[in-house]
Chain A
């Protein structure tokens, strides 16, 4: 193992974080404080590359596996990413590299594969990839794995059925399985699903999961969108302390 001091300054953090939502596990898990959220809790993560030790903690905790860490090495790049399916690629496996839209970019080879230290079922992969494409890779697949997967066009807007642990609500970590259980018990209205499973009751008040919830309700329970009663966010739209709300200035 190389020491952190030797490794710093060689990493590029790529984050596919399209929504500005209150989500900070990457920043709070970083042992060197290299990741900060630009503009507060809802901001997007930024890496101070000189401080990154390459520990990959952020990959392990990102609830949506959207963090990629690229390390420049001699003769190419090493791409680190979280892999969330079975079977897990092994060291030495050749993998297909795909971009964010599912288009094949090329091929790479797994140089390291380990199960996440968190109890997430994720696998943390390090893949050697050509430097010109490493930064564009958003998914890797084992050879032949794609055959059983829907093509990008069909895949649009659907969720993988096998992903039971898939979090519908990132703030409260409400799994799809918990939601399905409640719907099977006959709960059809979003407000009650919220109170029972806590979906949408977290910091973002459902701004990031309301659409997923509605989709689940329509598809799994056959609900009419108008009857589903998806609640809207209420004041305060972003967390505000009681002291601030009470109109008192924070003491210096």
Chain B
């Protein structure tokens, strides 16, 4: 087999790997993506397209997301694929007085962090989300939030990287990482050896396995999210929508826990998004089921029940499909980014949990800065692997 080489090899052709390759290639680095299956074949191709700033927790996570959101318009105009980026705004719907109270507290904190977010009452809600059930007491609204087509984003970034000189190897599985004198030297893959001194692990749920090859523990585990797809219809949703317990499920915020036993068991909080084609994506669960990607009757029923309750107008729409994706979940839900102590040339860009799409641009840019300049324009120490030790 021929021996390949590259300055930087990115393991993983998901949205994170594609973004890293894009920013590296833009700076003229010789970069190669090595993907075990196909681009966007993991979490990046089986998720929703939320760019959901108001769902983040104030602090480094929020700063990262906000910086990332700023990069989307540039990406949309720079790459040749229509990524269906739409600054549609977001709504978090509250049904009970307790939820309103907790949501208000959260909005206050987000405002304090400089986010353009506000509480809206039933009258404004009618305007922003005519499909919402009359019983919904209020919502928090963030006009900066947006949606995007995740697959097209991934493929578009990879294609642009390729146009800028990157090599993309699909159906190419990494079997071993050769490290000598604490420095990455070579990757052994199913397509042969690749000589390289720098490797980015952007392998999503495969990161744990890649980490083992470098004798490090990357604590990423698969968390399943199930989503229903309706038939395409005329525009019903102006914004992306989530229920208040989304924040409870995601961050354990007080007063925002799921309200039913089934929802608690499935880690389910209701989300809805209408794609450019008109299909409505209804989500989503957070389950630990290993690498299983089956959809289940309980989840489908519970999601459908939520949809009917929150958006009665969708009741008579046909569901035509369901799917499940595995999110690369880290123990604290935050990404794992940066160098690894003791292994020169090994970089991590993984564990984005449910935020891979929204954090992809900034992650790619920071990884490129780290590799090419040795320093980053934002502090990434809160995301280092060493926080778990």
Contacts and interface: CB of A to CB of B under 8 A. Distances in A.
Q: Do A and B come from one complex?
A: yes
Interface centre among B37, B152, B297, B308 (most CB of A within 10 A): B308
Interface stretch (B114-122, B179-187, B319-327, B367-375): B319-327
A50 B155 CA distance: 54
Which label, helix, strand, loop or mixed, suits the secondary structure of the B interface? Answer: mixed
B78 interface: no
Given A196-B152, A248-B308, A191 B301 contact: no
Interface residues of A, number: 28
Contacts of A243: 304, 308, 315-316
Contacts of B159: 185-186
Contacts of A192: 38-41, 45, 151, 155
Interface string B300-343: 11001101100000111111111100000000000000000000
Contact of B45 (A191, A235, A247): A191
A240 B228 CA distance: 11
A195 B168 CA distance: 20
Given A192-B151, A245-B300, A245-B304, A239 B45 contact: no
A98 interface: no
Contacts of B295: 234-235
Contacts of A229: 37-38, 41
Contacts of A241: 315-319
B159 to A, nearest CB: 7
A3 B173 CA distance: 69
Interface in A113-148: none
A234 to B, nearest CB: 5
A174 interface: no
B171 interface: yes
Interface stretch (A5-13, A69-77, A198-206): A198-206
Contacts of B231: 203, 239
Nearest to B323: A234
Contacts of B277: 198
B38 A240 contact: no
A107 interface: no
Given A191-B41, A198-B277, A245 B323 contact: no
B209 interface: no
A228 to B, nearest CB: 10
Nearest to B314: A242
A192 B282 CA distance: 21
10 contacts: A185-B159, A189-B38, A192-B40, A229-B38, A234-B322, A236-B319, A236-B322, A239-B319, A245-B301, A246-B304
Contacts of B228: 242, 245
Nearest to A193: B38
A242 B304 contact: yes
Interface centre among B45, B155, B316, B318 (most CB of A within 10 A): B318
Interface in B127-156: 151-152, 155
A188 interface: yes
A202 to B, nearest CB: 7
B256 to A, nearest CB: 23
A246 B308 contact: yes
B297 A195 contact: no
Interface centre among B37, B41, B170, B321 (most CB of A within 10 A): B321
A52 B167 CA distance: 60
B41 A234 contact: no
Nearest to A233: B321
Given A241-B317, A242-B307, A247-B305, A187 B230 contact: no
A162 interface: no
Interface string B280-296: 00100000000000010
Interface centre among B300, B317, B320 (most CB of A within 10 A): B320
Contact of A205 (B41, B45, B152, B320): B320
Interface in B152-172: 152, 155, 159, 168, 170-171
A247 B315 CA distance: 11
A185 B152 CA distance: 13
A243 B322 CA distance: 16
Given A188-B38, A192-B39, A195-B45, A235 B151 contact: no
Contacts of B155: 187, 192, 196
Interface in A187-225: 187-189, 191-192, 195-196, 198, 201-203, 205
A143 B323 CA distance: 51
Listed from nearest, the 8 A-B pairs whose CB atoms lie closest are A239-B318, A245-B304, A189-B38, A246-B304, A246-B305, A243-B315, A195-B151, A246-B308
B305 A235 contact: no
A187 B81 CA distance: 13
Interface in B32-85: 37-41, 45
